[in-house]
Amino acid sequence: MDYSGNTMSDAFNALKERLADFTHLNQAESVLSWDQETYMPEGAVVDRGEQLATLGKFAHELFVAPKTGRLLRDAAKEDVVAQNPDSDEAAIVRVTLRDYKKERKIPVAFVTELERTRAQSHQAWIEARKASDFKHFEPWLVKMVDFARRYADLQGYKEHPYDALLDSYEPEMRTSLVRKTFAELRAGQVPLVRAISEKAGTNSDALLHGHFPREKQIEFAKHVSQQFGYDYNHGRMDFAAHPFETSFSARDVRITTRLYEDFFNPMLFGTLHETGHALYEQGVSNAFAHTPLEHGVSLGIHESQSRMWENLVGRSHEFWEHFYPELQVIFPAQFGHVALNDFYRAINFVSPSFIRVEADEVTYNMHIMVRFELELELIEGKLKVHDLPEAWNARYREYLGITPPNDAIGVLQDTHWGIGLIGYFATYTLGNLASVQLFEQAQVDIPGLRDHIRAGNFAPLLQWLRMHIHQYGRKYTPDELMVKATGKSLSAQPYLTYLKQKYSQIYGL
């Protein structure tokens, strides 16, 4: 076999060179997507769609070419891979081969069409959200749902077409298991929500609403994210319609957030959330650089990191024992007269709300269940896109007891459907479950972890996550990683216990 002058024993190195080319094309595509979300002028959307389509086509053609398959097969036979199945080299071959088999099923014309359409669909979502007009976005969502169905048919599935979509974000997860998990959560969380509702009036988040100057919010949020360990020398923070984190490599990991001067929560907790994602990406081992493994293993595990830093750390009493005096100095008029316990209760205020990313911990999963169930109905053809706003509002009335007053804070609030990310939402709840399970294990392994947080020392937790989660990138499956880190597969019970204990204390249940 010709490896451009290399011998047969160099197949793995030749494979890595090819994967580097593929990865760099994907990274360039990501840069253009990040720019579209942050700085691109609206009038450039059609051209950007063409640019993304071209890069997507080239990357896909390079990756699924027969040469890639030959390199994978030959590299798998080399001693460095064959004799060391748990090595990083073997993982690169194994995971890439899985990706290769999946991508080979997708025609290049499909990839090009999807990328071109996705850019325009996303812009239509932005415009529709601004105008609170679902009809403006409706024809594009019809296309996105059609792409999702076609993708599922191309990939194939054993139980449900949604399995093929879910696997893209949470490898080896099944729709049936998500349904079972959600049923267990619903049974545990609904009584808690009702119990807290009976205590209505005993808590409020009113003190978080007022005037919070933009620059002071930015200053504090960046300070906390740096204390967590986010490396701004290899990252940056910008603003977007919907907060997100994006990683071009472990050495260029960026976050976005959004800010309201009349509400304290979105900027800070949105930044902490995206920082959690960024810390994961910045911690991936250099052994996986320029390969498909240079990212988090799944969106559920990814979300466990963001929710851990946002909620288990950022909304903990210990965290604010350290940071609240600083916050009072930055916002003396707003918080100088407010006791720490009153502030703590306010940031953990439970109340049904319209916006998922600003939802409290107790009701958050209800938002995810709504989206998961509606996606299933769209894919199954039981629900037409035209009827989605009505179905959305009905589900919010049923699960949260509230009805969105308009499309902007209802069916149009999330960016995911605009860019065709169907099969994604369940991972948010899976991440909630994993965050608690991992944090509990970290407490076992790190004596006095809460005291470290109380002292503003986040290095022990970050180092534990680097060792048990971050460094591995996509080396292991999500389940393998959870078992490796905690000794158990993912379970809903630790999360339910955490919610009950925390909020029983806050609300005196």
Identify the CA nearest to 249 among candidates 95, 27, 467.
27
Same domain, 47 and 183: no
Give domain status of residue 149, yes or no: no
Give domain status of residue 150, yes or no: no
Give domain status of residue 154, yes or no: no
Q: How far separated are the first and last CA of the chain, in Å rounded?
A: 70
Contacts of 176 (CB under 8 A, 6+ apart): 159, 160
Same domain, 325 and 435: yes
Give domain status of residue 428, yes or no: yes
pLDDT tens for the chain, residues 1 to 509 = 555 545 445 899 999 999 999 999 999 999 999 999 899 998 998 999 899 999 999 999 999 999 999 999 999 999 888 889 999 999 999 999 999 999 999 999 999 999 899 989 999 999 999 999 999 999 999 999 999 999 999 999 999 999 999 999 999 999 999 999 999 999 999 899 889 988 878 889 999 999 999 999 999 999 999 999 999 999 999 998 778 999 999 999 999 999 999 999 999 999 999 999 999 999 999 999 999 999 999 999 999 999 999 999 999 999 999 999 999 999 999 999 999 999 999 999 999 999 998 899 999 999 999 999 999 999 999 999 999 999 999 999 999 999 999 999 999 999 899 999 999 999 999 999 999 999 999 999 999 999 999 999 999 999 999 999 999 999 999 999 999 999 999 999 999 999 999 999 999 98
pTM: 0.92
How far apart CA 61 and CA 89 sit, in angstroms, is: 24
Same domain, 194 and 133: no
Give domain status of residue 215, yes or no: yes
Same domain, 86 and 179: no
Host domain of residue 77:
8-142
Give domain status of residue 166, yes or no: no
- Overall number of domains in the chain: 2
Task: Give, in degrees to the nearest 5, the angle at Cα 246 between 16 and 425.
Answer: 105
Same domain, 124 and 186: no
> Which helix (H) or strand (E) element contains residue 245?
strand 245-249
Q: Which residues form the catalytic set?
A: 274
Q: Provide the CATH number for the domain around residue 492.
A: 1.10.1370.30
